[in-house]
Structure 1
Amino acid sequence: MLGEVVRNRPEIALDDFLPIFLSSSLVLVFGALFVGIYTLVKMGYLKKFYMTIAYLFWILQAYCMYFMATRLQVGDFVGKVLFITMIAYLTLPHLYYYLNSKAEEEYEN
C-alpha cells in the first residue's frame, strides 16, 4: 500500500569528517566568544575597543558555518536557514541590549 521511503543523502567523505567536526566545534566556540565579549563590553567591564574583537569572532563563526555547510553539501533551503541563523546571531544581542536599556529608562523615569 505505502511505498518505501528512500532518502538520498550524500555520504561524508572520510577525509572531510575531521574538518567538518572541527569547523562545527569552532562555530560554538567563536559564538560563545562573540556573545561573551559583546556582553562584557555592553556591561562596561571591557573597553569599547574589544567590540571589534567580538565582531571578528562573529566573522570567524560565520566562515566556519559556511565551511561546514559546503563540506556537508547542504541544500538551498538549509543554506538559507543557516544564513538567517547567522544574521540572527549577529542582531539578537543588539536587540536584547537595546530593549534592556529602554526598559531601564522607562523604569527610572
Structure 2
Amino acid sequence: MGDTPTTIWPLDDARPGEVVVIARWSPSAGKSETIAALLPELIQQSRAESGCLGYQAYRPDGADNGDLVLVERYADQSALDAHRNSVHFRTLVLERIVPLLADRHAVVTTVQ
C-alpha cells in the first residue's frame, strides 16, 4: 500500500505553492479489503496525472479498524481540481469507495 519503511516522508521536498491533501478514510465494517483492492488502480491513475506530484496510502500505526491515510501532492490548485474532475476519481472514489466508508475527512492546504 504505502512505500517501504525506508521511504522519506512524502512532504519532505514539498515546495511553496504546491497543494497537499491529507485524507483519512474509515471503512465501514467488513469493507476494508474491498477498498484496499481498489487502491492500486487509484494510486496508479492519480500518479499519472500531469499535475500530481505524489499520491501515497498508508495504514496508520495501530489502526486495527482498516483506516487509511492518503497523502496527495499537486503542483497547484488547478491540478487538484483536474484530479477531482477526472474519470478515475469519480468512478473509483466517489462511486465505488465513498459508499464503503463510515467516515471520511480531508485537509487541503497550500505549502507556504
TM range (shorter): 0.3 to 0.5
More strand by share: 2
Normalized per residue, the structure richer in helix is: 1
TM-score, normalized by length of structure 1? 0.33
